[in-house]
Amino acid sequence: MTSYGRRRVPGLRREELAQLAGVSYAYYARLEQGYGETMSAEVLDSVARALRLSDEEHEHLVRLAQPERQSATPAAPPPQRLRPSVHHLLNALGVPAYVVSRRLDILGWNRLATAVLGDWGGLRPEERNVARLIFLSSETRERCAGPGRTAEEVAGVLRMNAGKSPGDPHLSSLIQELSHKSEDFRQLWARHEVICGSGGDVVRMRHPVVGEFDLVHEPMALPGGTPMRLVTYHAEPGSRSEEALRTLARWEREPLR
């Protein structure tokens, strides 16, 4: 690679990135200027490889560069409701679980989720949104022993979903509200990071009844016409965290005095 001398900040320069992607500097500059619609899929793939993007980030790059290739999204999606069978599934699960929409609205949950995460039934419907709770609810943040990482993931998931639904006014309104009310959200949103919300992450919870304990976070897509995710939390078998969950299940049925 051609040497471009000393650099004052880490990272690739545009000339270096263009060379790694196998295109001219002028051609790459057109991508940054918003002329990605003229580029082939092969060029975008090369840029993604040069930047070492994850699959989610690669997908996001293509959406930004060539939005006309994406399937049309209704400007105002219809209200999302859960099928009765999904409600039955939630109630049958022996772990905290809930279902969210692409906008992270909480569409349904089971009783153990409220025991661990808070009383969502006492909130107004518009307040039942994971992003609003994480960034605007002090009670919710107190339930997370590591709220910073959770906030990063929520902002990244919103960034990813906003790219998939650029015409969703409800999602745009949510982002504007969070940007206005939360400095943490403004800083995270400015990073332009996208996160798919993969599973297997360990989340440390803090509860007034059982103290701190660890849960494994597992989201999964639900089949159907509108995007929804079932989010579950479970404890490692035989762990103190599993015993904490059992205690909260008993407490939820008969609150401790």
> Average pLDDT in the 1-16 region?
59
Confidence category of residue 39, pLDDT binned at 50, 70, 90: low
For the stretch 54-72, pLDDT in tens is 655 666 666 666 655 554 4
Which of residues 82 and 18 earns the better pLDDT score? 82
For the stretch 73-132, pLDDT in tens is 444 455 567 889 999 999 999 999 999 998 999 999 999 999 999 999 999 988 999 999
CATH of the domain at 134: 3.30.450.180
Domain match, 129 and 185 both: yes
Boundaries of domain holding 64:
14-69
CA distance 235 to 179: 34
Domain match, 147 and 47 both: no
Instruction: Let me know if residue 78 belongs to a domain.
Output: no
Domain match, 99 and 195 both: yes
Instruction: Let me know if residue 1 belongs to a domain.
Output: no
Sheet containing 211-222: order of strands: 106-109, 97-101, 228-234, 211-222, 201-207
For the stretch 143-183, pLDDT in tens is 998 888 899 999 999 998 888 877 788 898 999 999 999 99
For the stretch 200-236, pLDDT in tens is 889 999 999 999 999 999 999 888 767 899 999 999 9
Instruction: Let me know if residue 204 belongs to a domain.
Output: yes
Name the domain count of the chain: 2
